[in-house]
Structure 1
Amino acid sequence: MVLSRAATGSEENVCSTFGSRYVRTALPKYEIGESSIPKEAAYQIIKDELMLDGNPRLNLASFVTTWMEPECDKLIMESINKNYVDMDEYPVTTELQNRCVNMIARLFNAPLGETETAMGVGTVGSSEAIMLAGLAFKRNWQNKRKAEGKPYDKPNIVTGANVQVCWEKFARYFEVELKEVKLSEGYYVMDPDKAAEMVDENTICVAAILGSTLNGEFEDVKRLNDLLVKKNEETGWNTPIHVDAASGGFIAPFIYPELEWDFRLPLVKSINVSGHKYGLVYAGIGWVVWRTQQDLPDELIFHINYLGADQPTFTLNFSKGSSQIIAQYYQLIRLGFEGYKNVMENCRENMVVLREGIEKTERFNIVSKEVGVPLVAFSLKDHSFHNEFEISEMLRRFGWIVPAYTMPADAQHITVLRVVIREDFSRTLAERLVADIVKVLHELDTLPSKISRKMGAEDFGNMKGKKVERDILMEVIVGWRKFVKERKKMNGVC
C-alpha cells in the first residue's frame, strides 16, 4: 500500500537536510527571501559555504588569537547577550573591565599608588584605541595652543612609514597631517633620529610601534624619548609619545622586562594594546591606558543617565559585547604573569625553530629580528626564477595562509613573506611548514617555464626555427609573473 504525503508527514519531516528542496535550489543572496526555511537547513547551508574559508589555525598572516580554552569559550557564550554599555544593569562586567585596565596599566609601569585607579578603557581593538589616544593628544595640543594665543588649525603627527593603516585612518578622519619617516632597505622601522628632526610646534605626538606589522621589530622608544626630551628642553614644545603596542604590549613585559618602552619613560603619555593578539583573546578587544588622568581631557568624556544611572563613556561606538572583556579577565587571572611568560617563551622558541629551518634552505634572507614579536619575515635571495607571491600562492595548496607583501615607501622594491607564531602554532606545525616550503621551492624549480628561463635567451637563439616559440614562451613567463604580482599586491597585512 502506498501512503499519501499527508499520511507520511510533510517533506521537512521525512527528508534529510540534503534531500530537502532547500539545498536543491539556489537561495536568494542579495535580497531577503519571501518565506522561511527550517533552522537545520539554514545552519547546514551556511556551514557548508563556510567550509570554503581558510582554516583560522593555519592563517599565519594574522596576529589575532584563534584558540582559547573550552572554559573560556563557555564563559563567552554565557555572556554573549550582554551589552557592555548597560553598565547599571551589568555592574560586575563593568568592574571586570576596570580590573583589566588597572592590571594592564600596572603591567606597563604606570606611576600609580597602591590604591590609585588607572585611567583607561576597553575598545573594539587597537584601531579604536588609537583613535581615542589620538583625539586626546589633538585636544590637549589645541587647548595648549589656544591658551598661548597661537594657531591650532594645523596639527600633525609623526610616525614611521611602517605604521598600521589605522594611523592613516586617524589622520584622515580627524584632519591631522601624517608625517611619515620613510624606510630604507635593511631598516624597516622608524628611525628615531629622523622622527625627532620632523617634529615641529604643531606635532601633537610621535607614535612609536612596539612590534611592527611588517617584520615584528620593536622600535627604539627609549632613544626616541631621550631625543625628544632634549628637543623639548631646547624649544619648550613638550612633544609627547604614544606607543602603539598592539602586538608587543603583551610580549615585552614577560620576556623582555629590561626593555624600556612604557611609562617608565617620562614622555610616554598613552599606550594601546590588542587583547585579541598576544593578550590571547578572540577578535574584538583592545585597550588604551593613559599615564595620568590629566593626559585625558575631561571634555572628551561623556556622561549619560538614560540607561539607569550616571555613566561616563569615552568610546567611538556605543553598544558592544561584553564577552571579550570577560574573556580578557579570564586570561589575566587564569594565566597570571607566569602563564603569559610561558606562552610567550614558547612562541619565541617555535619562532627560532622556524627561522633556523628557513635559513637551512639557503634560499632566503631573514628580514625579522630575533628580539620582537615572534614571527619570521623572509625574502628570496634570488628572484631570477620565481618570487614570493608565487610561493605564497603555492603554499595555499597545503592549507597554509602565508602573506606576501611589498614594503612601504623607499623600500617598496623589497617583497617579504611573513609567518606569525601564535600560541596555537606548535613545534610540529613549525617543522611541517618548513617541509612544505622546501616542497614548494622544489616544485617551482622543476616547472617547465622555470627550466626554460634558466636555459637563457641565448640558448633559445641557438635553436634553429625556435625563435617564435622562444618569444612566445618568454612573453608568457613575463605575463604570468606580472599577473601574480598584481593579484597579490593587495594581500592583506593584519
Structure 2
Amino acid sequence: MGLKRIWQGVVRGAEKAAQRIPAVQRRLEAEYAQVEAMVRSKMRPKLETLPDLNQLPEQGVPHEQILEWLQQLRQQETPLWEQGRVSGTVYHGGAEHSAFLSQVYALHSQSNPLHADLFPSTIKFEAEIVRMTANLLHAPATDDPEQQVVGTTTSGGTESILLAMKTYRDWAHAEKGVTEPEVIAPETAHPAFDKAAHLFCIKLIRTPVGDDFKANLEAIHRAITRNTIALVGSAPGYPHGVIDPIPQIAQMAKQYGIGMHVDGCLGGFLLPFIEALGYPVPPFDFRVEGVTSISVDPHKYGYTPKGLSVVLYRGRRLRRYQYFTATDWQGGLYASPTLPGSRPGALSVAGWAAMVSIGRQGYLECARQIMETAKQIRKGIEQMPELKLMGEPLFLIAFTSAQEKLNIYQVFDQMARRGWRLTALQRPPGLHFAVTIRHTQPGVAEAFLRDLRDAVDYVKAHPDEKGDMAPIYGMANSLPFRGVVDEVLKRYLDALYD
C-alpha cells in the first residue's frame, strides 16, 4: 500500500472520529443548513401564480395557463444566458436557430430509435451524425474494418464516457482475460470517469498534472500494470481548458496494447475549426496513432439541442463491446446500442438539422468569433496584476489570484452579484469562463472585463466580507475531510428535490 493510500486511510479515520464529537456535529449541521437554505432561496423559481404540486391536479390545467406560466418563467431565466453573462452552458441560443430546432423537434416528437422499423429516418440521421463527426475528427478513409471509425450517439458526454469505459472493460475481459480492470486518467479528467469506475467495477487511478495542468507522462507510465485496460487524455480538460499530450499518451497505449480514450466532449466540435483558422492546436484526434476512442458533444459547440453526444471507436469489433443484447427474454429479442432502451429520436433529428443547417463555413465563422473574443478576454485578464492565467487557454479561460491575500472565491461571489455566472475550480482555487457565441455579442467582453476589474477592487477593499459560495468553496478546497464535502454535495442535491 502506497503512502498516499495510508494517509487517506488515516484522514478518513480521523474524520469519522471527529464527526462523533457533539460540538463538531452541531457545527456541521449548521453549515449544512446554510447550504440547504441557500439552495431553497436561490434555486427555486419565483412565480407566485405557479402552485407547488405534490399530486396530480384533479382536473387538467388549460394549455393557455400552462404556457403562460412557462413564458413567465422563461422571462426570468433567459436574460442571464441570452445576454452572454454565463460561462458555457448555452453555446448558441440564437433566436432563429432555436426556433428552427424547436420546429424540427415538433415534427419528430414521437419518434423512438428503439423501434427502428417505425422510425427509419431517425436511424438515418443518427448514423449520419456519427459519420459527420468521425469525418470532422479525421477518421481515416479505409476498407479495413479494424481501422474504420464507427460509433453511436448518446444522451451526453457522461454517457459517452461511461460507454467507452464499459467497452474497454468488456474488451479486456474477453480478449486479454483481465478480471480486475484499471483505467489511468489525469486528475483533471472529468468526474464521469469516476462514475464509470463506480458503476462498472473499474479501478480508476488518478495521476498528477504538471504546473501547466497537462497530464504528467512519467506518472502515467509508472501507473501502468498488467490490469490496465485504457489510458485517458482530455482535449481540452474541463477545469483549465488545457489539452493533454495526446500523442505521447497514445504511444504508451499502443506500446502496451491497451485502449486510449480522448475526452473531447468540450472541444471536439470546436478544435477542428480553430485549427482550420490557423491557430496552433496539438494533435488529439484519429490522426494520432494509438487513439482508439473519442467522446465529443455536438450539444456544446456543435450547437445542437441538449442531450446529444457521440462516442467513436477505431474498429468495428471494439464498438461491439458497447452493445447489450438479451436473447432469451420472454418479451422477445432485445438489443440496445447504448444505456437507455427508448430514446427521444427528436433530439437526434434536431441535432442532425443543426449540423446540416450550419455547415462547415458556419462553424468556421462561429469559431473565428469565439477565438477573437477569447483573445480579448485573455489579454484583459493578463493586464490585471492581481490575477494570473492557469495553463495556456484557447477558448476556455481559467485564472486565479496572483496575490496571496486576494480570495478568488470572493471574486466569484462579486461577479455573481454583478450578474455573471463563472465556474469555480479547486485544488488549486481558480475560476474559469468558457467563451461561446453568446459572448461574441457587441460589448459583452468589455462588460466582463470591466466588472471583473470592479470585483477584484471590491474584494481588495473588503477582504473579510463573505458571500454565498466563497465559504463553501473555501471549505471544500482546504478540508482534508472529503466526507464532509461529500455530505455538503448530497445535502445540495436533496434540497433541489425537496
TM-score normalised to the size of structure 1?
0.76
Cα distance per residue 1:110-161 (max 9 Å; x no partner): 2333898752111001111111111111111111233xxxxx3211000001
Gaps of 5+ in 2: 1-46, 478-484, 493-498
Structure 1 CA distance, aligned partners of 2:346 and 2:360? 22
Equivalent of 2:152 in 112, 121, 124: 121
Structure 1 CA distance, aligned partners of 2:125 and 2:261? 25
Q: Does residue 101 of structure 1 match 2:130? A: yes
Q: Is the 8 A contact 1:196 1:228 kept in 2?
A: no
Structure 2 CA distance, aligned partners of 1:32 and 1:292? 49
Q: In structure 2, do the counterparts of structure 1 residues 333 and 172 end up closer, same or farther at CA, with 3 Å as the change threshold?
A: same
Q: Is the 8 A contact 2:126 2:153 kept in 1?
A: yes
Structure 2 CA distance, aligned partners of 1:29 and 1:487? 34
Shift of 1:28: 4.1
Q: In structure 2, do the counterparts of structure 1 residues 397 and 109 end up closer, same or farther at CA, with 3 Å as the change threshold?
A: same
Point out 4+ residue stretches in structure 1 off by more than 6 angstroms: 23-26, 114-117, 303-306, 476-481, 487-492
Q: In structure 2, do the counterparts of structure 1 residues 484 and 248 end up closer, same or farther at CA, with 3 Å as the change threshold?
A: closer
Q: Is the 8 A contact 2:323 2:335 kept in 1?
A: no
Structure 2 CA distance, aligned partners of 1:99 and 1:312? 21
Name 2:249's counterpart in structure 1.
224
Shift of 1:303: 7.5
Q: In structure 2, do the counterparts of structure 1 residues 401 and 144 end up closer, same or farther at CA, with 3 Å as the change threshold?
A: same
Cα distance per residue 1:224-246 (max 9 Å; x no partner): 123444xx3xxxx4122111111
Task: Indicate the larger mover: 336-345 or 425-434.
Answer: 336-345
Name 2:222's counterpart in structure 1.
197
SS in 2 for 1:289: strand
Structure 2 CA distance, aligned partners of 1:434 and 1:344? 21
Structure 2 CA distance, aligned partners of 1:41 and 1:477? 41
Q: In structure 2, do the counterparts of structure 1 residues 159 and 401 end up closer, same or farther at CA, with 3 Å as the change threshold?
A: same
Name 1:473's counterpart in structure 2.
none
Cα distance per residue 1:178-221 (max 9 Å; x no partner): 0010235x232321232122111111100111110101111111
Equivalent of 1:72 in 98, 101, 104: 101
Within 5 Å, which residues of 2 pair with 1:62-461? 62-68=88-94, 69=97, 70-113=99-142, 118-146=149-177, 152-184=178-210, 186-229=211-254, 232=255, 237-256=256-275, 259-297=282-320, 300-302=323-325, 313-370=336-393, 372=394, 374-384=395-405, 386-406=406-426, 412=427, 414-426=428-440, 427-447=442-462, 450=463
Shift of 1:343: 1.4
Structure having the higher Rg: 1
Shift of 1:42: 3.5
Q: Is the 8 A contact 2:150 2:312 kept in 1?
A: yes
- The one-letter amino acid of 2:240's match is N
Q: Is the 8 A contact 1:250 1:273 kept in 2?
A: yes
Cα distance per residue 1:366-410 (max 9 Å; x no partner): 11414x4x11111111242x412222212223321112221xxxx
Q: Is the 8 A contact 2:260 2:292 kept in 1?
A: yes
Shift of 1:64: 4.9
SS in 2 for 1:296: helix
Structure 2 CA distance, aligned partners of 1:432 and 1:108? 35
Q: In structure 2, do the counterparts of structure 1 residues 115 and 346 end up closer, same or farther at CA, with 3 Å as the change threshold?
A: farther
Cα distance per residue 1:450-469 (max 9 Å; x no partner): 4xx7xxxxxxxxxxxxxxxx
Structure 1 CA distance, aligned partners of 2:437 and 2:317? 37
How many residue pairs are counted as aligned between the two chains?
Answer: 422
Shift of 1:486: 3.9
Say what the alpha-carbon RMSD is for the aligned residues.
Answer: 3.3
Q: Is the 8 A contact 1:64 1:278 kept in 2?
A: no
